[in-house]
Structure 1
Amino acid sequence: MNEKPSDVRLRSRVWSVLRALVFVCVIFFIWNGMAKTACAFVAIALIMGWVNLYQLRCQEIEKPYYRLWLNVIDGFLSFAVMTSIFVRDLMQNEHAEKLLGVGCAVLLARLIAHTLFSLGVLREGKSLPRKRRWSKMASIATTITMAVYLLNLEDYQQICMVATILLIAASTVAYAYWYYRDPAHRKPLSIASQLTMSRIVLTPFFLWVFFYDNDLDYSNNSLVFKVLALAMVLGFMLTDFLDGKLARAMGEVSTLGKYLDPFSDKISNMTIFMCFIATGYAPVWMVALIYFRESSVETLRTLAASEGLIMPARRSGKWKTALQGIGIVAILLGAIDPVRAFVPGLGDIWDIFPKIVMGIITAITIISGIDYFVSSKHILKKFV
């Protein structure tokens, strides 16, 4: 007798929750130095994932929104496990495999992009595509790569990670092809939005460039990669300037662009600030204050949107963004040895120069945040 679809769905959801708990156990074992036990649980997660995809066929019978959020949870836990391995290696060796860091960034970028696109599809009343062969292979490869890094199989680590990244890229291209081949899904992204998206896409590559030599001390990096890091930041600033100008000039100002532009700025700048923490250019408390300001203003913006209100950009916010970019460029420019030798007196104060610049950035960022809250009292009154 055939089972009811509701019973099959319930069993699939229970199976997915159990698999999520297995990943939580993996993270626990990693932080407690139990690598072999963690690897055993990764193997269990691999088997459970295979059963869910090929035996229970959860992608075929699950409701769209449940399927989306189950995929989000699964993707986030995979990212959390890989990040835990990366941080563990960084704490133990101080020279964590740089390709592992790139893999973590790719997993996070894929999770964010897939979630945003899937939500867009569902809001348009379309049905989500089932996981294709490339996506299934990418999930399996990610789990296998976890096990290889947990067991410290150095001969296979880079091979597995490269294979995983390539499979993730292939599954992303396949999803994008499915999404855009139907004109009814969404009109093509404007040039301005493409420029904005480029900052999000290139941010993980900045991490790779900044830590290319596998050394937290940025001063030891190759001159070529120092110049490349500076060029990428200048590119971020240029695209930030051009996307708004082009959107207004071409009449392509959109709701997506209004939200995507500040989001991409925060993704790129906060990533750079975290790199500065790692190399000693900025103390943790400064970057924590900057993050607190950014997240608080975004929360305020979300509250305003929930009431149908628009919180316009403040002049202080524009100054803050410009100053952050100038400060980042000043630090990266000063880190280039020929430049530091050419500028009189910079070499003498270089030990404190980055912290001075970051202190100014932090102060202006906090002042800008206060300005936003003072000017948005009418929004806060609706909730307080």
Structure 2
Amino acid sequence: MTEEQTSDIRLRTRIWSVMRAIVFIAVIVFTWMGMAKTACALVAVALIMGWVNLYQLRSQEIEKPYYRLWLNVIDGFLSFAVMTSIFVRDLMQNEQPEKLLAVGCVFLLARLVAHTLFSLGVLREGKSLPRKRRWSKLSNIVITITMGVYLLHLEDYQQICMVSSILLILASTVAYAYWYYRDPAHRKPLSIASQLTMSRIVLTPFFLWVFFYDNDLDYSNNSIVFKSLALIMVLGFMLTDFLDGKLARAMGEVSTLGKYLDPFSDKISNMTIFMCFIATGYAPVWMVALIYFRESSVETLRTLAASEGLIMPARRSGKWKTALQGIGIVAILIGALDPMAAIIPSYQTFWNVFPQAVMGVITAITIISGIDYFVASKHILKKFV
């Protein structure tokens, strides 16, 4: 195949990928418009387009490594966005959302983050990215099918499809990790600081189970034991967030992986908690949507900086934002403990406004922090605008 033919196929592959992304965006739009059947039809179109891209256009074989990485990132992010839109839609319609769907959203986000970080590491080492293996291809197919099942409210198949998706995500992640670490050049010991950071990602799904252990969205009637356990887990998240940076600097183990993984783990754990607060009525959807918009925008900016070989340092406003989010979450979980109502007179009147007031302050500081990041990163944006 000549270079001209290869370039032509690459162009068609990229156009096809952009069209598939547009289809996914349309799925999100129709989901919010309540046109579930139309959205499901577009999901089927996206499934077919993905098959054509892999097997007919052979995008994995001829695409340049960095383009392939970012096309995969966009595709994974849009899949996560569709699943999250379905979850939020069910919440806004006052339906009882499937808790497994929230867990699935977390797994999708965790896979996207992990795959992006490892792939960037591989490319920086001058090595070739692996092609998508059968587990990865199968997981993408099943995830897309799961979208359609949830869009059509096929309750008999929702849990089966979501469990299958989660298992295949785990299988594809293990397959990728096996490929990565079987190469002696990649076998670098994971520092204690990075292990602490990873623990937040690993324990986040368990927080979901603890928060909704009784299969009831009303957190107020949960057992005091599980309320206390949820509070302890959040305190553990905050402690590991404080210790990982301290240990990395004290032991001389500051790494590029840690610099990227630390903010990602914070986003995963905090956004999961905020989604739980939406479900139980402690936070309105629009506040969490604004927080998610800020977090995803800053992470996109950080990714753009990485593509230029730059590391975007943490801002003081970002540290204040993270600390305030943690303090606010702890305050709400402490306020939800049963003994508080017995100790403080007229506590219920206070509690009716307290969670949303705390979330309002968190949202405002988070947005201000995001603005600060963008103002301070104008030199990065100028490279792309």
Q: Which residue of 2 aligns with 1:107?
A: 108
Deviation at 1:261, TM superposition (A): 3.1
Who is 2:97 aligned against? Answer: 96
Q: 1:147 Cα shift?
A: 1.7
**Residues 106 and 272 in structure 2, CA contact (< 8 A), matched pair in contact too:** no
* Structure 2 match to 1:350: 351
Q: Distance in 1 between matches of 2:354 and 2:331?
A: 9
State the shift of 1:236 in Å. 0.6
**Partners in 1 of 2:127 and 2:240 — Cα distance?**
32
AA at the equivalent of 1:350: W
C-alpha distance in 1 between matches for 2:105 and 2:291? 23
For 1:5, give the aligned amino acid.
Answer: T
Distance 1:57 1:222, change over 3 A: farther
The alpha-carbon distance between structure 1 residues 228 and 48, as it changes in their structure 2 partners (threshold 3 A), is same
Counterparts of 2:92 and 2:57 in 1: how far apart (Å)?
Answer: 40
1:333 maps onto 2:334 in alignment? yes
**Alignment-derived partner of residue 133 in structure 2:** 132
CA deviation profile, 1:277-333 (whole Å, cap 9, x unmatched): 55343567877897899899989999999998996875x876775565344323213
Change (3 A) 1:382 1:277: closer
How many residue pairs are counted as aligned between the two chains?
379
Name the CA distance, whole Å, in 1 between partners of 2:312 and 2:79. Answer: 36
Q: Is the 8 A contact 1:94 1:216 kept in 2?
A: no
Contact 2:271 2:292 in 1 (8 A): yes
Task: Tell me the distance in 2 between the aligned counterparts of 1:61 and 1:11.
Answer: 11
Q: CA deviation at 1:369?
A: 5.8
Distance across 1 between alignment mates of 2:169 and 2:275 = 25
Deviations 1:174-203 (A, max 9, x none): 111111222323622211111112223433
Sort the Cα spacing of 1:36 and 1:128 in 2 relative to 1 into closer, same or farther, 3 A: same
2:82 alignment counterpart? 81
AA paired with 1:118? S
Relative to structure 1, is the Cα distance of residues 362 and 105 closer, same or farther in structure 2, using a 3 angstrom cutoff?
A: closer
Contact 2:321-2:369 within 8 A present in 1 as well: no
> Could you tell which deviates more after superposition, 277-286 or 325-334?
277-286
Compute the displacement of 1:357 (Å): 5.5
Query: What is the TM-score when the length of structure 2 is the normalising length?
Result: 0.80
Letter in structure 2 aligned against 1:185: H
Provide the secondary structure at the position in 2 that maps to 1:199: helix
Greater shift after overlay, 30-39 or 200-209? 200-209
For 1:229, the aligned partner's letter is A
The AA in structure 2 aligned to 1:82 is M
Say if 1:287 and 1:362, in contact at 8 Å, map to a contact too. Answer: yes
Cα separation, partners in 2 of 1:245 and 1:33, compared to 1, 3 Å: closer
Q: Distance in 2 between matches of 1:37 and 1:126?
A: 42
Name the counterpart of 2:32: 31
C-alpha distance in 1, partners of 2:264/2:376?
A: 24
3-state SS of 1:184 partner: helix
Paired with 2:17 and 2:304, the residues of 1 have a C-alpha distance of 32
1:342 is displaced (CA, Å) by: 5.8
Aligned to 1:176: 177
Deviation, 1:55, is: 3.0
The answer to whether the aligner puts 1:193 opposite 2:194 as a matched pair is: yes
In the superposition, the TM-score normalised over structure 1's length comes to 0.80
Q: 1:220 to 1:134 in 2, by over 3 A?
A: same
Q: What is the CA–CA distance in structure 2 between the aligned matches of 1:319 and 1:117, rounded to whole Å? A: 28
* SS of corresponding position for 2:184: coil
Letter aligned with residue 59 of structure 1: Q
Quick one: which amino acid aligns to residue 231 of structure 1? I
Partner of 2:12: 11
Partner of 1:165: 166
> CA offset at residue 205 of structure 1?
4.0
1:95–1:214 contact (8 Å) kept in structure 2: no
Instruction: Tell me the residue number matched to 2:52.
Output: 51
Trace 1:208-357 onto structure 2 (pairs within 5 A).
208-213=209-214, 215-282=216-283, 324-337=325-338, 339-341=339-341, 343-345=343-345, 347=347, 349-354=350-355
Name the aligned partner's letter for residue 89 of structure 1: D
After superposition, the Cα gap between the structure-2 partners of 1:313 and 1:219, relative to the gap in structure 1 and judged at 3 Å, is same
Q: Which amino acid aligns with 1:331?
A: I
* Cα shift at 1:210: 2.8
SS of the residue corresponding to residue 4 of structure 1 reads: helix
Is 1:116 the counterpart of 2:117 in the alignment? yes
Alignment check: 8 A CA contact 1:8 1:56 kept: yes
Q: Secondary structure of the residue that 2:188 maps to in structure 1?
A: coil
2:34 partner letter? G
Distance 2:114 2:149 in 1: 26
Task: Indicate the SS of the match to 1:189.
Answer: coil
CA contact (8 A) 2:76 2:112 kept: yes
Deviation string, structure 1 residues 53-104 (Cα, Å, up to 9, x no partner) = 2233221121111211221122122222222222222222431111112112
**How far did residue 5 of structure 1 move?**
2.6
Counterpart Cα distance in 1 of 2:202 and 2:237? 11
**In the TM superposition, what is the alpha-carbon distance from 1:223 to its structure 2 partner?**
3.9
Unaligned runs of 5+ in 2: none
Amino acid at match of 1:162: V
